[in-house]
Structure 1
C-alpha cells in the first residue's frame, strides 16, 4: 500500500458532497485519459496492457460503487478518493515518460515504477469491490451479523470473519473499533478463527499491520491486541513477520498509549521466542526502545516485565547482547533491582542471569554494579518477599559469585550462609531444593566452606532433611552431608550427636540395595567408621541390622564398613560370617 494510502487510513478526509462529485468525475477523467494514452505507448507493452486492463476494471467498479450508494455522505468511498487520484496521476506521468522514452533513472527503474502502480491499482480495485459488494457504506445501513455460536460450522465462521474485515476496511471509526474488539474476542475464543483470519482472509495481516499505525490510539491498541493473539501460535508468527508487523509494533512500543505499549510488547515477546525474528526487532531499533522504556519511571511493572522478557530473548544473540551492554543494560537493570515492585526486581534479575550465563566477565560486571546489596535484601529472612523472588535470588547469587574464591568470601562475609540455613529450616520444598543445590556446589569448589557450614550448624539440619517428603531434597541433603562429614572437625561434631548417627543407620533401606540414597548414606558411615568413636556409635545403634542386611546382600560399601567394625576388639561382637 502506498504511503499516501496509509496516511489516508490514519486520517480519513472529510469531503463535502460537492467535492466528492468533483473527485469522482476527476478520477473518471484520469482513468479514461490514461487508457487512451496507453494505446500509443510502444515500450513495455505487456506491463501497459496489464495496467490498462486494471484501469478499465477500476472504472467499472468505481461507477458500480458510486451507483450503489444512496447516501449523500459516502465516507467509505471518499476515503479512497485521494490515494486513487494520486495513483492515477502517477500513471499519467509514467505514460508521458514512456511515450517520449525519457526514462529518468533508466529502464530498470521505470519497470519497477510500472510494477508499483500496478500493485497500487490492484489494491484500490479490491477495496472498491468490497464497497460495492458489502453494502456497509454507512453506519445507518450496516447489518450486524450475529456471532456464530461455539462449535459453529466453518462456513458460518468464515462468513462472520469476512463481514468483520469488511467493516474494518470501509467502516467509520466506531465501526472499526467495534470490529477489532470482536475480532480479538473470537481469536481468543477458537483457534479456527485464527486460521481463517491468517490463511483464508485476503490482506488480513496487512490491514491489521496498517491499523497498528492508525491515528486513533484506541484502534492501535485493539489492533495490537489482535496481532498479539495471532503471535501466540507458532504456525502464524511467520505471516506476521512477512506482513511487516515488527516495525510498527516497535513504534507502538515507543509512542503508543500505555495499553497499546503492553499489547505491542506481548506480541513482540511471543514473536522473539523464535530466534529468527530477534534480528528484525533489533534492526528496527527495538533494543534502544526497550531499554529506554525500562528506564522510564512512569512505565508500569507489567510493561517493564514484558520488556525484560523481550530483551532476554534478544540477548540470546551474542552480538545483540554486546550492544545491550554497550547501551548500559547492566547498570540499568541492576538499578531496577532497587525497585519497590517485586515483579520488576524478579524480571530484572532473571534478565541479568540470562545475560551472564556462560559469561563470567559479564557476571563480574554485574557484581561491580553493586548487585550484592539487593540480593541480600531479597534473601533477608525478615523481609516479605515471595517464594519465587527468593529462588531467583539464590540462583543469581550462585551465578554471579561462585566464579572465584574472592567473590565467595565476599558473599560469605555478608551472611549468605546464615540466610541459606534459615531457608533450609523454614522454607518451602522448592526453596530448600534451591538452597541445597547451591551449598552442594559450594562444597565442591571451596573446601573452607565445608568448615564454615559445619560450625554454622548445617549438618543437624541436613540430617532432618533426610526425611523430607521430596525425594530430591532427601538426596541433595545426603549429598551435601557426604561432602561435609569427611572434614575432620565436622566428623567429630557429627559423631558427638547420637541422634544423627542413629538416624543415618535408621534411614538405610535394606530392601533397596542399589538406591542412590543408600549409597550416599553408606559413604557417610564410611567416614564415621574411620574413627574409634564413630565405630562405637555405629555399633551402639539400634539399627545396625540395616547395615548387616546390606552387607549380606553383597553391597560392597556395607561390607567394608562391617569389616572395619569387625576388626580386633569389635570382632567378637559380630558373627564370623564375613569372608572378605
Structure 2
C-alpha cells in the first residue's frame, strides 16, 4: 500500500515524458493492425510532444503548476498507449478485437483533450512564450524523415501556439517552402491537414498571421501539381476576402497567390464564382491601388479571360475602359499589363477588337512605339504584339493604324531596335505581308525591302525564317520585285542560302520568292548572272519541285544553252 502511494507521488519529468512519447511513437510504426487509428495516435503524441517542448525553456514545471498537471496526465495517457501497442502487436488482442478498438478510441480522445488543455494554457498566459524554442532546421542533405519531423513540429506550434509562436513558426515554414520543393510536397501530401490549417490561418483575424500564411499559400500555389489542394481547401474565398478588406501588404500577397492559382485555367471558375472578377476590376480601376497590386490583378484577369463566359462578364463590368485608362498610366509596368490584357481579350474575337479599337487602343500603342519616347524594350514588344492582336484583322482598324504612322515606327525598330524589339518588329512585318496587297505596297514604298534582305544574313534561324517569309510576300507585288532586284546582292543572298549543305535555313520561303522573281526579265538575268545559281541547279537535280519549276522557267528563254539536262529529268 505504501509503495503504491509512493508511486503515485512520483512525478515524471518533462524529459522522461518526451522520451516516453518518442518511444510510443517509434514502437507504433511496426504495428500492422488498426493502422489508421495508430497514425492518428502518433500525430497527436507528436503534437503534444512539440507543444510541451515549445514551452519548456524557462517555464515552471513544479508540481503545483497547471502545466505540470497537464504533463502528468499526458504521460499517463502515453503509458496507456504503450500498453495498447503491446496488445496490438499480439495477434490474440488480449481481450478481443472490439475491446482493443474501443480502447484505442479512448486513448485518442484523451490525447485530443490534452492538446485542447495545452492550447488553453497558452491562451491563459501562464507560460512565457517569448522563450519558446523553434527547432533547428535540418541541414542540407538531411533525410526525408528529418524534414518531415521538422515540418510536423512547425505545424504543431501553429495549432497550439499563441500569436507570437505562430508568427515565428510561420516565418520558419516560409523559409523552407521558398527554398526547397520537397518541403512543399511534405506539407501538401504528408500533412493530413497541412493545407487546410494554412487556409484557416488566412481567416484567423490577425492580419500579421494572415500575411505570413499568405506567403506559405503562395509558395504552394507556385506548383501546378499542388494548386488543386488549395482549391479543395477553399483557399479562394479568404484570398478574395483579403483582396477586399485586407492590409495593403495582405492584398498584394493575396493577389500574388491568386495569380499563381489562376495560371491553371481550371481554377478560373473558382475565382469568378466568389465575386473575384468584380473585386479585381475594382482594384485595377482604383487610382489608390499600389502598382504591385494592380500588376498582379491584371495578370489574374488576363488568365481568367481565357474562359469566354468570364470574358463576357468582364466586358459587361466595364473592363475595356478600365484597362484603356491603365494603358495610359505613368507607371510602365501597369501600362504593359493593361496592353497585354487588352490584346488577350481581343485575340480571336472581332467584336471585342472593334470595341477595343473604338476605345482608343491605337493611340496608346502608337504612343508607346514613338521612337522619341522613353519606353522600355518590353513595353515596345507588348505594343507590337497588341497591334497584331487588336488591329490586323479589320481593314478599318488597319487603315487607322497605318494613318497613325505605324509602318514608319515598325521600320525604325527593324533598323535600330534592340534585338528583342527588332525580332518583334520583324514578326509584325512578316504578318503584314500576309494581309493585303495594299499593305505590301505600303511596306515596299516605306523602305522595308533593304532591311528585310539584310536580315537574311542574321545569325538567328528564326530571324532568317521570318525575313524570308516577309520577302516572299513582298516580291509577289510587281513594283516590290523591281525594288528587290535593283540590288544585285539581294538575289545573291537568296541563291547563296539555297546551298544543300546549309542546314540552318529553311528553303520553303526562299524558293517561292525566286519563283516570283523569275516572272520579270531583269529577275531572270540577275539569277543567271549569280555565281550561286549552281545551288538552284543542285536543288533541281535533287528533284525539289519548286526548284525544277524555276529552272524550267529559266530554260524557256535564251538561257537554254547554259542549263542542260536538268529540266528534262
TM-score, normalised via structure 1 length = 0.73
Q: How many residues align?
A: 471
- C-alpha contact 1:138 1:172 (8 A) present in aligned 2: no
Structure 1 pair 552–299 and aligned structure 2 pair: CA distance change class (3 A):
same
Distance 2:137 2:306 in 1: 43
Match of 1:362 in 2: 352
For residue 116 of structure 2, the aligned residue among 107, 111, 128 is 128
For residue 534 of structure 1, the aligned residue among 517, 523, 528 is 523
For residue 334 of structure 1, the aligned residue among 301, 306, 324 is 324
Distance 1:310 1:136 in 2: 46
For residue 524 of structure 1, the aligned residue among 509, 513, 531 is 513
For residue 483 of structure 1, the aligned residue among 468, 473, 480 is 473
In structure 2, runs of 5+ residues without a counterpart are: 1-47, 71-108
Q: Shift in Å at residue 375 of structure 1?
A: 0.5
Deviations 1:460-519 (A, max 9, x none): 11111111111121122112111111312112222222232333333331446x997334
Structure 1 pair 69–137 and aligned structure 2 pair: CA distance change class (3 A):
farther
Matches within 5 A, 1:86-165: 125=113, 127-128=115-116, 131=119, 137-139=127-129, 142-165=132-155
- C-alpha contact 1:131 1:137 (8 A) present in aligned 2: no
- 1:518 aligned counterpart, secondary structure: coil
Deviations 1:235-264 (A, max 9, x none): 433332232221111111122122211211
Matches within 5 A, 1:292-441: 292-441=282-431
Q: Shift in Å at residue 142 of structure 1?
A: 2.8
Distance 1:154 1:494 in 2: 67
**Off by >6 Å, runs of 4+ in structure 1:** 67-74, 121-124, 132-136
Distance 1:154 1:542 in 2: 68
Match of 2:87 in 1: none
Q: CA RMSD in A?
A: 3.3
- Asked if 1:550 corresponds to 2:539, the answer is yes
Deviations 1:74-130 (A, max 9, x none): 9xx9xxxxxxxxxxxxxxxxxxxxxxxxxxxxxxxxxxxxxxxxxxx9998474165
Structure 1 pair 471–138 and aligned structure 2 pair: CA distance change class (3 A):
same
Distance 2:149 2:436 in 1: 69
TM-score, normalised via structure 2 length = 0.75
After TM superposition, the structure 1 stretch with the greater mean CA deviation from structure 2, 530-539 or 125-134, is 125-134
Match of 2:460 in 1: 470
Match of 2:439 in 1: 449
In structure 1, runs of 5+ residues without a counterpart are: 1-60, 78-120
Distance 2:565 2:220 in 1: 76
Match of 2:275 in 1: 285
Distance 2:269 2:556 in 1: 70
Distance 2:157 2:415 in 1: 63
Q: Shift in Å at residue 167 of structure 1?
A: 2.6
Q: Shift in Å at residue 381 of structure 1?
A: 2.0
Distance 2:247 2:326 in 1: 22
Deviations 1:433-484 (A, max 9, x none): 3333323332222111111111111111111111111112112211211111
Distance 2:435 2:401 in 1: 14
- Asked if 1:225 corresponds to 2:211, the answer is no
After TM superposition, the structure 1 stretch with the greater mean CA deviation from structure 2, 244-253 or 198-207, is 198-207
Deviations 1:6-44 (A, max 9, x none): xxxxxxxxxxxxxxxxxxxxxxxxxxxxxxxxxxxxxxx
